């Protein structure tokens, strides 16, 4: 029996959150790699990158859940430490 070949890309995100939105090939880590990722997970990735750029310990950021990351991100945006219009992938 042959395997079915998928024409649609799959989201590669693996941080225990559900996919959401359109899946696209996106350049990440300042253009170093291109991966298939859904809109929801691209948003999560940008939050993680922004928290790291704002000085948060990346190991702590990754160990915490998405809810914590979102709250921390929102508080840093409110404090003017992160510009949500200038998020990098």
- The pLDDT assigned to 67 comes to 94
- The pLDDT assigned to 35 comes to 93
- Does residue 61 lie within any of the structural domains? yes
pTM for the predicted model, two decimal places: 0.82
Distance CA 7, CA 80 (A): 43
- The pLDDT assigned to 19 comes to 92
Segments forming the whole domain that contains residue 78: 39-86
- Does residue 4 lie within any of the structural domains? no
- Does residue 23 lie within any of the structural domains? no
- The pLDDT assigned to 29 comes to 83
Helix, strand, or coil (residue 35): strand
- Does residue 5 lie within any of the structural domains? no
- Does residue 76 lie within any of the structural domains? yes
Per-residue tokens: 41: 């997970």
Q: Which residues contact 88 (CB under 8 A, 6 or more apart)?
A: 30, 46, 49, 50, 53
- Does residue 18 lie within any of the structural domains? no
- Does residue 16 lie within any of the structural domains? no
- The pLDDT assigned to 11 comes to 93
- The pLDDT assigned to 74 comes to 97
Ranges under pLDDT 50 in the chain: 1
Shortest CA distance to 22 belongs to which of 41, 2, 3? 41
- The pLDDT assigned to 28 comes to 86
Domain count, the chain: 1
- Does residue 65 lie within any of the structural domains? yes
């Amino acid at each position: 029996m042959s395997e079915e070949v998928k024409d649609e890309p799959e989201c590669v995100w693996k941080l225990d959150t559900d996919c959401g939105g359109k899946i696209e090939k996106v350049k990440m880590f300042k253009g170093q790699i291109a991966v298939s990722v859904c809109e929801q997970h691209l948003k999560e990735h940008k939050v993680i990158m922004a928290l790291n750029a704002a000085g948060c310990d990346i190991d702590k950021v990754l160990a915490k859940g998405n809810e914590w990351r979102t709250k921390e991100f929102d508080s840093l945006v409110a404090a003017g430490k992160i510009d949500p219009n200038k998020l990098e992938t």
